[in-house]
């Protein structure tokens, strides 16, 4: 092993282990240490080679096994010890994954690093739910939005812009703030019957899609007792799911669909 190690920041995709890129799979086999998040599927963890040390850093919503600054410091420490460190993150590291913060720390410390993109949750979960993010008839643009609350419980978003037509909105980490999101969108101009869907554990065998309009969706999600990782999609493209829902049809189930 060389005196100076390196870090690979790798996106694991939205859940389905088969969506891992070839490059990510190759680097996984070369890693000395794998730092992984809570959203990584067990099937993917099983592919970590026996020689590699596993460290669960447990980032999920507001429940963190390690604070972000400690994760950053740990990567630096391990690389300085000569380790090949693979930081395995759900989705894509640069889409609401704090990947920029992590490699900024590495760059400041002079640690060699490489970024391997992953299929972000918006793309993967929408595809497995049969919801195209864009469509020339009803969605000429798409916006990715974090619904993570700031201190004080506020969601300081540009609601008039988000409530515009002819677009698709994708809210990450939206389960806890779903009632607020739906209410604000209606308040700023979208109709109460505007279509929306909450995708739980997207692209996995546990996937559920709760589909309703903005007025009814919060109650539908509460009734469904959603507890897994979730993604909210708002827009006319949701209506296309009735025709394009290939994943649930292929596995012979539409459970969880309103």
- Order of all β-strands in the sheet with 6-11: 53-56, 33-36, 84-89, 6-11, 113-116
Q: Which 3 state secondary structure label does DSSP give 194?
A: coil
Q: Report the 10 Å Cβ neighbour count for 25.
A: 14
Q: Is 16 in the active site?
A: no
Q: Which of 111, 117, 118 is nearest to 7 (CA)?
A: 111
E strand intervals along 76-176 = 84-89, 113-116, 141-146, 167-172
With beta carbons less than 8 A apart as the criterion, state whether 149 and 176 touch: yes
Q: Which of 179, 172, 188, 171 is nearest to 153 (CA)?
A: 179
Q: In whole angstroms, what is the distance from residue 202 CA to residue 58 CA?
A: 19
DSSP letter (8 states) at residue 139: B
Among 16, 32, 59, 201, which one carries the catalytic annotation? 59
Among 16, 32, 37, 213, which one carries the catalytic annotation? 37
Q: Is 37 in the active site?
A: yes
**Residues with active-site annotation:** 37, 59
């Amino acid at each position: 092993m060389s005196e100076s190690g390196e870090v690979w920041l790798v996106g694991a995709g939205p859940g389905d282990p088969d969506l891992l890129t070839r490059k990510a799979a190759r680097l996984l086999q070369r890693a000395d240490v794998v730092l992984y998040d809570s959203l990584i599927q067990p099937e993917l963890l099983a592919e970590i080679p026996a020689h590699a040390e596993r460290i669960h850093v447990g980032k999920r919503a507001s429940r963190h096994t390690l604070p972000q600054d400690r994760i950053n410091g740990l990567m630096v420490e391990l690389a300085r010890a000569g380790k090949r460190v693979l930081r395995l993150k759900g989705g894509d590291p640069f889409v609401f994954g704090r990947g920029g913060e992590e490699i900024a720390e590495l760059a400041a410390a002079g640690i060699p690093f490489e970024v391997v993109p992953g299929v972000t949750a918006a793309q993967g979960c929408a595809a497995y739910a049969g919801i195209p993010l864009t469509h020339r008839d009803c969605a000429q643009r798409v916006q990715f939005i974090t619904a993570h609350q700031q201190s004080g419980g506020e969601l300081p978003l540009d609601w008039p812009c988000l409530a515009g037509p002819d677009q698709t909105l994708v809210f990450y980490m939206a389960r806890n703030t779903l009632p607020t999101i739906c209410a604000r969108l209606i308040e700023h101009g979208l109709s109460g019957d505007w279509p929306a869907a909450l995708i739980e554990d997207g692209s996995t065998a546990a996937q559920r899609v709760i589909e309703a309009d903005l007025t009814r969706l919060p109650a539908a999600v509460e009734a469904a007792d959603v507890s897994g990782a979730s993604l909210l999609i708002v827009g006319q493209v949701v209506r296309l799911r009735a025709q394009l829902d290939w994943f649930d049809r292929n596995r012979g189930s539409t459970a969880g669909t309103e």
